Amino acid sequence: MSRNGERSYAQTYKLVVVGGGGVVLDTAGQEEFSAMREQYMRSGEGFLLVFSVTDHSSFEEIAKFHKQILRVKDRDEFPMLMVGNKSDLDHQRYVPMDEAQNLARVLKIPYIECSAKLRMNVDQAFHELVRIVRKFQLSERPPLKPNYKKNKKKCCML
C-alpha cells in the first residue's frame, strides 16, 4: 500500500533467512492466485493469516483460509499466526481487538496486531511464526531412543 492509501502494491519483498532458508509467498487473497493457493499450502511450513483491521470482509476470510489450510494439510492443527494489519488506523477500525482475539482463541492460533506503514510488530510477527513452526516441528519428531550400547563397557576376565 502506498502512504496515501492508493491500492497499489510495490514489487519489493524482504526475504528473511532463518536456519538456512526462507520463502515468503504473498497472494494477498487475490482470486487470480486461487488455483495455486492449495499448491502453496501443501508446501508451506507455517502461515501468517493477515487481515486489515479497517476491513471487516478481510477479517471474515481468515476462518476460511484457516479451514482450507487444515484441509489441505489433513491436520487438526498447523503452525499459523493471525495478524491484524493497519493497527495505526484506529480511527478507521472496523474489527475490534476483542473480536479478533476471540476468533484467534476459537481457531487456537496466536494473534498479533501490526502496522506495515509504521513497521510496528512486522518483524515480530515473522519471528513469532518461526518460533511456532520450530516448536511444531520439534513436537512432530519421534522421541530419540537412548543408545545404551555407548554406555555399556564389556569386560572379559580369564
Mean pLDDT of 80-103: 97
Q: Are 83 and 51 in contact (CB under 8 A)?
A: yes
Domains and CATH numbers, the chain: 46-136 (3.40.50.300)
Tell me the C-alpha distance between 35 and 40, whole Å: 10
**Per-residue pLDDT, 124:** 96
- 67-87 tens-digit pLDDT: 999 999 999 999 999 999 999
Q: Are 39 and 33 in contact (CB under 8 A)?
A: no
- 12-32 tens-digit pLDDT: 444 555 555 555 655 555 566
Residue 136: burial class (beta carbons within 10 Å; 0-12, 13-18, 19+): middle
Describe the strand order of the beta sheet including 47-52 as a list of residue ranges. 47-52, 80-85, 111-113
- Whole-model pTM? 0.75
Tell me the C-alpha distance between 108 and 102, whole Å: 10
E strand spans, the chain: 47-52, 80-85, 111-113
